[in-house]
């Protein structure tokens, strides 16, 4: 019934696999996916664990709506302790892997230990085996996925795998499924690599059932219509993808550019959604070939791009002449604006590299931007970069750096440590645009103040997917707030964080929240799974998840001092645009935020708060 009620425990050290019953008390308190896996993880893993040691665990997990007809209901999450941050990490992904796992009869896979040799996990309904992957070690994600389909003689196989980056400990390596969908952030792929687990290959034919089928279909159909009728989810995202934001965010002066020295990028329009739709001079084709959906998604924001076959980068990579997962806003920003690169083909090429090798384009682009600033200062020399002329704006440098980092070779290994470690190594820690060691994404907190508080308090390090206040501050969803004001943002961030955690726990995509609130989610969950799911209950589940993640981070050694932003954002005012003269007002928002959360001024949940949330 919505949950399969079973999960797999895979011990790679011992080479054992066993099925266990899901703790149903925990599904009531934490729903599924991000929530449920966080509960299991925090119960089983010491917060002080070294993320890349066998004692860390890696949990693949689905939500109760995963595999159902609820729009976007195909997601899965990966929960672990992140090597980039030392915080709890939870990365989620779309595509078709999550629903396949659920269809195989499993809600979750807990991976423990470390295999003595490279292996992959094969899951065919109840037949689960740890198999040798020696001949796939060192291969790219694309080679691995296609290779496993061939080995199993099964084109329907769904594969989540890592590339060389994950094997070699690139700290922001991701886990990629369906060639270009990724559990992208915080280095979950590096943890997978440290366990010598190359891939998880799943085929499921058992089907997913819900509690009240007729009521569920009615609710899901009604809510799909809400998405279709909404301007963002019904028109904007299908046509332009998340890339619709490039020109918008640049206009309002919130586009972190050249390692956040600037808040506007003069070349933004050249790497925008509009540019992806424009026919090229060379072959008359557009960069965007089509949009594509993840499992069950009625929005279909995914970009499938076709590169210019005459572009300089493609000579050595004939496979990039075929269409593949193209630029999303965050990637276009990180590979483009952050590095000052306005060559959309080079950005697409680097994006293909990130997908093929399994690295997070946000952290990669942002780290490269920091390296470019070090290079410009003369701190990094051409000898140290292995001959790459690492100038801001250089498409050649972007292309070369992406390949080296994806393969974990040469200077790419240094870039693969992330900008905090890189800038510290060269004595310039303030040039790292990170929070808790994770690079922040494509919104400058000087132009969108709520995002400053969002980054500073995010439990997995800087991230936009933990409270997307851009929706309110820029797009006016569910109501418009002033992006340059700090007043009221503490409450806004808390509300977004808690609601987002509930959405993440349900098995669907956060992009539905442009049109849906918990009022739209609740009736679908209530019809799908046991329990009584109301917006109020879901909000409490969200707050419980958030607070549990916080408790783990505090136990791992984080303190209130880590809830901060890079000095550049706090001290250097924006030079242009609507935010000109403004720095981040984090200090005005953070104390109020702690208070609203029921935490002490030191950011620690009080006994009362823990009791209220049944966490103590």
Partner 1 sequence: MEKSLLIQPAKCTGCRQCEMACSFEKERSFNPSRSRIRVFDIHSEARFVPYTCTQCAQAWCLQACPVDAIKIDAATKAKVVNDNTCVGCKVCTIACPFGTINYVADSGKVAKCDLCGGDPACAKACPTGAITYVDAEQTGYDKMRAWAVKTDTQSHAHA
Residues that bind partner 1 (CB under 8 A): 67-69, 71, 96, 99, 103, 156, 179, 204-210, 213, 217, 221, 224, 228, 238, 289-298, 300, 302, 304, 306, 322-324
Six-digit token string for 483: 């992006």
Query: Shortest Cβ distance from residue 6 to partner 1 (Å)?
Result: 16
Query: Shortest Cβ distance from residue 73 to partner 1 (Å)?
Result: 9
Q: Contact 45/53 with Cβ under 8 angstroms? A: no
Strands 197-203 and 119-124: parallel
User: Of the two residues 224 and 357, which places its CB atom closer to partner 1 in the complex?
Assistant: 224
What is the distance between the alpha carbons of residues 411 and 407, in angstroms, rounded to a whole number?
A: 11
Q: Contact 159/173 with Cβ under 8 angstroms? A: no
What is the distance between the alpha carbons of residues 296 and 74, in angstroms, rounded to a whole number?
A: 6
Query: Shortest Cβ distance from residue 472 to partner 1 (Å)?
Result: 27
Query: Shortest Cβ distance from residue 241 to partner 1 (Å)?
Result: 12
Place of tokens 């960069």: 287
What is the distance between the alpha carbons of residues 37 and 34, in angstroms, rounded to a whole number?
A: 5
Query: Shortest Cβ distance from residue 60 to partner 1 (Å)?
Result: 19
Sheet holding 76-81, edge to edge: 16-21, 6-11, 108-112, 58-62, 76-81, 88-93
Query: Shortest Cβ distance from residue 301 to partner 1 (Å)?
Result: 10
Q: Contact 268/250 with Cβ under 8 angstroms? A: yes
Query: Shortest Cβ distance from residue 19 to partner 1 (Å)?
Result: 20
User: Of the two residues 46 and 322, which places its CB atom closer to partner 1 in the complex?
Assistant: 322
User: Of the two residues 13 and 221, which places its CB atom closer to partner 1 in the complex?
Assistant: 221
Cα dihedral sign, 261-266-268-271: negative
User: Of the two residues 94 and 483, which places its CB atom closer to partner 1 in the complex?
Assistant: 94
User: Of the two residues 293 and 413, which places its CB atom closer to partner 1 in the complex?
Assistant: 293
Q: Contact 64/526 with Cβ under 8 angstroms? A: no
User: Of the two residues 156 and 555, which places its CB atom closer to partner 1 in the complex?
Assistant: 156
CA atoms within 13 A on the CB side of 535: 7
User: Of the two residues 182 and 545, which places its CB atom closer to partner 1 in the complex?
Assistant: 182
Q: Count CB atoms within 10 A of the CB of residue 312.
A: 13
Q: For residue 215, give every residue at least 6 positions away whose Cβ sits within 8 Å of its Cβ, in sequence order, or none.
A: 527
DSSP state of 58: E
User: Of the two residues 228 and 615, which places its CB atom closer to partner 1 in the complex?
Assistant: 228
Query: Shortest Cβ distance from residue 93 to partner 1 (Å)?
Result: 16
Six-digit token string for 535: 């917006």
User: Of the two residues 158 and 185, which places its CB atom closer to partner 1 in the complex?
Assistant: 158
Query: Shortest Cβ distance from residue 595 to partner 1 (Å)?
Result: 43
Tally the residues of the chain.
616
At 212, is the secondary structure helix, strand, or coil?
Answer: coil
Q: Contact 54/167 with Cβ under 8 angstroms? A: no
Query: Shortest Cβ distance from residue 356 to partner 1 (Å)?
Result: 13
Query: Shortest Cβ distance from residue 72 to partner 1 (Å)?
Result: 9
Q: Nearest CA to 304 among 475, 180, 413? A: 180
Six-digit token string for 97: 């892997």
Strands 108-112 and 6-11: parallel
Q: Nearest CA to 302 among 189, 179, 441, 186? A: 179
What is the distance between the alpha carbons of residues 478 and 136, in angstroms, rounded to a whole number?
A: 47
User: Of the two residues 96 and 496, which places its CB atom closer to partner 1 in the complex?
Assistant: 96
User: Of the two residues 105 and 187, which places its CB atom closer to partner 1 in the complex?
Assistant: 105
DSSP characters for 162-195? --HHHHTT-TTB-EEETTTEEE-STTHHHHHHHT
Whole-angstrom CA distances from 270 to 34, 243, 441 are 37, 12, 19
DSSP characters for 437-488? TEE--S--TTTSHHHHHHHHH-BTBS-SSS--THHHHTT-SSS---TT--TT
Query: Shortest Cβ distance from residue 281 to partner 1 (Å)?
Result: 21
Q: What are the beta bridge partners of residue 111? A: 10, 58
Query: Shortest Cβ distance from residue 293 to partner 1 (Å)?
Result: 4
User: Of the two residues 205 and 595, which places its CB atom closer to partner 1 in the complex?
Assistant: 205
Six-digit token string for 278: 């424009």
User: Of the two residues 293 and 582, which places its CB atom closer to partner 1 in the complex?
Assistant: 293
What is the distance between the alpha carbons of residues 150 and 347, in angstroms, rounded to a whole number?
A: 31
Q: Count CB atoms within 10 A of the CB of residue 222.
A: 12
User: Of the two residues 189 and 296, which places its CB atom closer to partner 1 in the complex?
Assistant: 296
Query: Shortest Cβ distance from residue 295 to partner 1 (Å)?
Result: 6
Whole-angstrom CA distances from 334 to 273, 438, 568 are 15, 13, 18
Query: Shortest Cβ distance from residue 206 to partner 1 (Å)?
Result: 7
User: Of the two residues 156 and 485, which places its CB atom closer to partner 1 in the complex?
Assistant: 156
Query: Shortest Cβ distance from residue 67 to partner 1 (Å)?
Result: 6
Backbone Cα Rg of the chain: 22
């Amino acid at each position: 019934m919505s949950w399969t009620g079973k999960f797999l425990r895979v011990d790679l050290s011992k080479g054992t696999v066993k099925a266990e019953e899901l703790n149903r008390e925990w599904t009531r308190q934490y729903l599924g996916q991000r929530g449920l896996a966080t509960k299991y993880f925090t119960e089983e893993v010491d917060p002080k664990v070294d993320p890349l040691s066998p004692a860390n665990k890696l949990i693949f997990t689905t939500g109760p709506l995963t595999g159902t007809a609820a729009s976007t209901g195909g997601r899965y999450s990966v929960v672990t302790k992140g090597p980039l941050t030392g915080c709890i990490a939870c990365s989620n992904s779309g595509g078709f892997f999550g629903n396949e796992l659920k269809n195989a009869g499993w809600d979750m896979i807990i991976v423990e230990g470390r295999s003595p040799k490279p292996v992959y996990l094969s899951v065919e309904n109840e037949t689960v085996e740890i198999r040798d992957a020696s001949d796939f070690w060192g291969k790219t994600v694309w080679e691995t996925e296609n290779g496993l389909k061939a080995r199993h003689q099964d084109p329907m196989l769904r594969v989540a795998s890592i590339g060389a980056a994950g094997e070699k400990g690139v700290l922001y390596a991701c886990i990629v499924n369906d060639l270009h969908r990724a559990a992208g952030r915080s280095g979950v792929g590096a943890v997978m690599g440290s366990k010598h687990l190359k891939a998880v290959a799943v085929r499921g034919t058992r089907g997913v059932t819900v509690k009240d089928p007729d009521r569920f279909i009615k609710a899901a159909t009604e809510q799909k219509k809400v998405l279709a009728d909404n301007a963002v989810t019904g028109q904007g995202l299908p046509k332009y993808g998340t890339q619709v934001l490039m020109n918008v965010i640049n206009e309002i002066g919130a586009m972190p550019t050249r390692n956040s020295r600037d808040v506007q990028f003069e070349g933004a329009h050249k790497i925008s959604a509009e540019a992806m739709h424009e026919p090229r001079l060379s072959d008359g084709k557009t960069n965007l070939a089509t949009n594509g959906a993840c499992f069950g998604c009625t929005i279909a924001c995914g970009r499938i791009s076709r590169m210019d076959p005459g572009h300089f980068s493609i000579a050595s990579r004939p496979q990039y002449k075929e269409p593949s997962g193209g630029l999303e806003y965050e990637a276009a920003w990180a590979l483009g604006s952050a590095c000052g690169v306005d060559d959309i083909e080079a950005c697409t090429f680097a994006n293909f590299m990130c997908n093929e090798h399994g690295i997070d384009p946000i952290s990669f682009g942002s780290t490269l931007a920091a390296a470019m600033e070090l290079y410009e200062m003369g701190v990094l020399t051409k000898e140290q970069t292995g001959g790459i002329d690492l100038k801001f704006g250089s498409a050649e440098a972007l292309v070369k750096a992406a390949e080296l980092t994806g393969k974990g070779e040469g200077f790419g290994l240094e870039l693969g440590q992330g900008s905090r470690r890189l800038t510290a190594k060269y004595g310039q820690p303030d040039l790292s645009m990170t929070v808790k060691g994770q690079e922040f994404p494509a919104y400058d907190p000087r132009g969108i103040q709520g995002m400053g508080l969002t980054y500073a308090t995010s439990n997995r390090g800087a991230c936009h997917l933990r409270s997307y206040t851009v929706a309110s501050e820029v797009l006016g969803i569910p109501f418009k707030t002033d992006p340059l004001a700090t007043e009221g943002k503490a409450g806004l961030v808390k509300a977004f964080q808690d609601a987002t955690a509930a959405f993440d726990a349900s098995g669907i995509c956060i992009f539905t929240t442009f049109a849906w609130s918990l009022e739209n989610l609740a009736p679908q969950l209530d019809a799908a799974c046991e329990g009584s799911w109301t917006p109020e209950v879901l909000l409490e589940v969200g707050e419980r998840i958030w607070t549990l993640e916080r408790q783990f981070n505090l136990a791992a050694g984080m303190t209130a001092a880590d809830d901060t932003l890079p000095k550049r954002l706090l001290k250097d005012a924006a030079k242009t645009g609507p935010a000109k003269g403004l720095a981040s007002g984090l200090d005005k928002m953070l104390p109020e935020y702690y208070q609203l959360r029921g935490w002490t001024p030191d950011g620690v949940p009080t006994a009362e708060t823990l009791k209220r949330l049944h966490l103590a």
